[in-house]
């Protein structure tokens, strides 16, 4: 990008990219940036680093990673797609929708399926994060007002919900020395506020009405219906189960 435009300022780049006579380096830059950001975002199949990072890190670090690390990747993707390259370049000249949408749906379905079989709660919610990242990327792939609104709202929702969940798991680890699923037995009486926070965060991830997660998923379903993609709307709802 710098070689072809002479700047790395986003505002200047957005003006100069369209004036470049030979677009082949711009296509290459778009591809490299997209792959790099998707690794940071941990979108399937570039998510391999995330489960181990969330599981093996100390609880405070896991909470920080869950609330911030992948959200930075989402923000960078939004800035590059909508601010630098623009809608026409990203979704018409480059096949971003055809790449993001299938990967997002696979992330939602595969992440949900793998999470069901986890006994370590940190690993379970790590795979849950892969699912939520799928919802995020899916909202971006619609390239519509409803989809983008759902993606942005979900960034903040997931940061709050997953950060709170990992903090609750940290309290559980401190109190019991374990975050295994079978260690939950009787904790509702011993740690009522911690377990209440865990349940509220879980309900938000599912998207139960009256939770913040419901709002973002409502926008995503609306975006799918507006695009006449009813199977995608059904998969969004199935992934929430």
What pLDDT, in 10s, does the model give residues 6-61? 778 877 887 888 777 778 888 888 889 888 888 888 888 888 888 888 888 888 88
Band of residue 70 on the pLDDT scale cut at 50, 70, 90: confident
Band of residue 115 on the pLDDT scale cut at 50, 70, 90: confident
Q: Is residue 115 part of a domain?
A: yes
Amino acid 93: pLDDT: 82
Please, what is the Cα angle at 213 between 209 and 218, to 5 degrees? 70
Q: Is residue 162 part of a domain?
A: yes
Q: Is residue 41 part of a domain?
A: no
H/E element, 165: helix 145-176
Question: Is there a contact between 142 and 227 (Cβ–Cβ < 8 Å)?
Answer: yes
Please, what is the Cα angle at 134 between 121 and 17, to 5 degrees? 140
Amino acid 6: pLDDT: 78
DSSP annotation of 45 reads T
The burial of 119, by beta-carbon neighbours within 10 Å (0-12 exposed, 13-18 middle, 19 or more buried), is given as exposed
Q: Is residue 21 part of a domain?
A: no
If we measure between CA atoms, which residue out of 76, 55, 60 comes closest to residue 121?
A: 55
d(CA 192, CA 197): 9
Band of residue 239 on the pLDDT scale cut at 50, 70, 90: confident
Band of residue 114 on the pLDDT scale cut at 50, 70, 90: confident
Whole-number Cα distances in Å, 38 to 31, 79, 113, 137, 172: 11, 13, 21, 9, 32
Average pLDDT score over the chain: 84
Q: Which domain holds residue 175?
A: 50-72+94-240
Q: Is residue 23 part of a domain?
A: no
Please, what is the Cα angle at 108 between 159 and 171, to 5 degrees? 40
Quote the strand ranges of 60-181, DSSP E: none
Q: What pLDDT, in 10s, does the model give residues 83-109?
A: 888 888 888 888 888 888 899 999 988
Is 80 exceeded by the pLDDT of residue 201? Answer: yes
d(CA 79, CA 85): 9
Q: Is residue 33 part of a domain?
A: no
- Give me the torsion for CA of 27, 33, 37, 38, rounded to 10°: 40
Amino acid 238: pLDDT: 80
Amino acid 212: pLDDT: 80
Amino acid 5: pLDDT: 78
Q: Is residue 15 part of a domain?
A: no
Question: What are the counts of helices (DSSP H) followed by strands (DSSP E) for the chain?
Answer: 14, 0
d(CA 140, CA 147): 6
The total domain count for the chain is: 1
Amino acid 147: pLDDT: 87
Band of residue 208 on the pLDDT scale cut at 50, 70, 90: confident
Band of residue 197 on the pLDDT scale cut at 50, 70, 90: confident
Amino acid 56: pLDDT: 83
Q: Is residue 20 part of a domain?
A: no
Is 80 exceeded by the pLDDT of residue 199? Answer: yes
Which position has the higher pLDDT, 214 or 240?
Answer: 214
Residue 62 corresponds to which tokens in the numbers above? 């896991």
Residue 212 corresponds to which tokens in the numbers above? 């913040």
Amino acid 113: pLDDT: 85
Amino acid 21: pLDDT: 78
């Amino acid at each position: 990008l710098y070689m072809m435009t002479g700047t790395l300022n986003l505002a200047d780049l957005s003006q100069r990219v369209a004036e470049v006579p030979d677009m082949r380096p711009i296509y290459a830059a778009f591809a490299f940036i997209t792959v790099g950001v998707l690794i940071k975002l941990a979108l399937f199949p570039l998510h391999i680093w995330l489960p181990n990072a969330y599981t093996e890190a100390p609880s405070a670090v896991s909470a920080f990673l869950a609330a911030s690390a992948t959200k930075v990747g989402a923000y960078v993707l939004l800035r590059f797609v909508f601010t630098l390259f623009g809608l026409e370049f990203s979704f018409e000249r480059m096949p971003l929708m055809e790449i993001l949408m299938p990967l997002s749906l696979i992330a939602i379905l595969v992440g949900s399926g793998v999470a069901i079989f986890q006994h370590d709660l940190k690993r379970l919610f790590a795979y849950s994060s892969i699912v939520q990242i799928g919802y995020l990327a899916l909202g971006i792939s619609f390239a519509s007002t409803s989809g983008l609104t759902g993606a942005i709202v979900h960034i903040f929702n997931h940061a709050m919900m997953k950060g709170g969940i990992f903090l609750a798991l940290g309290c559980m680890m401190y109190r019991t020395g374990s975050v295994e699923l079978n260690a939950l037995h009787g904790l509702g009486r011993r740690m009522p506020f911690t377990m209440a926070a865990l349940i509220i965060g879980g309900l938000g991830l599912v998207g139960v009405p009256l939770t913040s997660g419901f709002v973002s998923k409502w926008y995503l379903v609306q975006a799918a219906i507006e695009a006449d993609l009813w199977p995608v709307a059904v998969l969004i709802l199935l992934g929430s189960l």
